Structure 1
Amino acid sequence: YLQDLTMGLVDMIGFRNDSISKYFYESSDGERFDRTQTMCHLNEYARYEYYHGYFRLVCEGAVVTLILLQIILDVRDIQRIGRKKWFDIYVVRDVMHNQLQYAFPAKLSYKISYFLVLAVVPMRLLCNQSDVFLVIDNALSNISVILTTVHFLYFCRAIKFIGPFVLMIYTIIATDIIRFLLIYSIFLIGFSQSFYIIFTSCQRENDILKAAGNTIGREFDNIMQSPVDALIRTFIMTIGEFMVLYRELAACPVDLMRTIGKGVFVMFELCVSILQFNLLIAMMTRTYETIFLTRKEWKRQWAQVILMLELSLSPRERLTALLSYSRPTGTNKQARSFVVSKKLDTRNLEEFDKEKEQEKQDTLKEEKRLLARRKKIESEASGRPMTTMFKFY
């Protein structure tokens, strides 16, 4: 039923009936749809089943209420610690390269989703004014879902098993993917417009042959009607779907343009599909190996998450927690430290940690052996009798 209500708007085939005061949309099979019901079907909770109607209403109200509560808590944190310090938590300046680095990109995306969800409310209320508000409503909802889902990566950073991989994703997107897209966009724009000119020439010749009635073989179908279509079609071709373009290129009625098109196609496959994508794989592999070598990276991520969570507490609450997990150091009660007493289990250590532990044990054995030898030498030099145990057979 929901699909029937939105079909007229999705098809974008509508007309105005001047004999009545409503707008109607007409689908491809001639069925009419009420304009108001088509655009404002999300506000009609009583017309659907409970899980599509009132249950959705309760969930939407809970989401908006919790977002407002979260914004109030963030405002309280900003007032307590200051706007500059609160902003520096998320954005850290790299002094060496003089650029900004986002310490918590997943958290930033989650904060942005607050305002996108709140922007959906006026769009939903203005749905009967224009079709544009329904489109904006859907777009904001889709973006909010994506940004909210990314927030799970924030909690995964402190896990030893997947924490380094989350950092790898951040680093690859921020460095390798951006550099690759800058180079790839140059080739994509150039080759796509070249294909657009070739297909336009083929379409012009095909129209002339059709008008003269001289169609021979399979009819040519122009799959690049505009420069934007050419850009999208060329991008699709880079991920492996090139048979449609090559089939239509082979059906071009102009021999010269068909030859030029095949040459451009071969150059594009060599320069983009083979060379640049393998270059991207090599860059991502280098980033992966660099981060993988830092075995203790997950601990640093864990510490960052803890510091981030501590900022949501008041100074009194943080002091109470500090007194509970720390102990005084020496006679100065103000100097406190975190004491950990843990027996190492070699079965759960990494290979590197096992080697370090084995080296420590070997060093201790060697020190004990040298100490026993030194005592023996000192005893012999002093002339004291040595106690010897003999076996008699």
Structure 2
Amino acid sequence: MKLLHTDIKNKVLQSMIEILDRERTNIIDANKKDLEAFNRDDQALYDRLVVNNKKVDEMIAAVDAVMHQEDPVSQEISNLTLKNGLNIVNTTAPFGTILIIYESRPDVTIEAAVLAFKANNKILLKGGKEALNSNLILEQCWHEALETHGLSKDWIKLLHLQREETQEFLKNPTEPLDLIVPRGGERLINFVKTHATCAVLVSGRGNNFLYVSEHADWAKAVNVIINAKTDKISGCNALDKVLINKNLPEYQTKLKMLQEKLEQHKVEIIVDDKVSGILSQKETIQDAGIWYEEFLALKLLIAEVESLDEAVSTINKYSGKHSAAIITEDKAEAMTFMQQVDSAAVYHNASTRFTDGGQMGVGAELAISTDKLHHRGPLGLNQLVTNKYYVYGDGQVRV
């Protein structure tokens, strides 16, 4: 796709803002069809599917925020002139064509597309069948905004493919693909990695851990745990596992206090064998596989550890490498934890729920990357470009 001037991109986005506001009733009505057809058994997926007036406002705000961000394309990274006279300029450049595969969330159809388009990428959107009606009307909004300014609808396109067709498309794409972002659970990620023939940037699962040190402020610990677990159970940044140091003063009393608080919020508690000696009425771990599980539910595993080293080792073994937190008043201990835990975001005395583009100052996000190349954490506008070298000479040859 050709490089578009910033002005034309921003005009498309301004039109999109106006179209979303004008069509909000039709968008919400289309979403109701998806909600009526959805099985409420999966509450987290249902929560992600809902589009209401607040959600439309958030979509509009996302487009507006990206519109006002600086264009990330053709920005100079470095400029070097060699002794032989060659001028080498490294600049940012679009990826080309991005495919994002995601489940349930219609707002991804807005956020992913606005980021890709502003960064001058073509984007192919493969949403889940549960959000089909919502995604179709949002695609229509995009196409109207593009065509209003004389641009092809191909910049933003919804793929209407079943699972087998998606598999074939990944193996033998009908058009060049430069980057695929699977945004979902382990099955989706493994499916894409197995069949893709281009670069894959993983937006990994959560399975986030929090460690309560013996040096923790207990009131902070409880508040952070409750927020990280209950604020939004469908978020990939929600808390799943809590490790508590057995040397915490008044350990048994505090465990029972935590149980009481969690039960007030209707959180199901699972415990390891050591904690079960104190919280004897709670279900104990039956299958070690639960340590790898992202719950996406009002469910929390609580386990006992003897040291910071054991906590770090446990987190690095089982977590999704998304977000991890330590609650401690010992700053040196906190730094050791944050340096040694292998996660995209590490927290000291704060909720994991802040791992979000808007909360971390990135703005709208395409996904939360748990890969280490080319970027880790929230993928915002500035992360949707690669780089390109422009080399200017005057007949130089290598000798």
Larger Rg: 1
More helix by share: 1
TM-score (norm 2): 0.19
- Which structure shows the bigger proportion of residues in strand conformation? 2
Higher RCO (CA < 8 A, seq sep 6+): 2
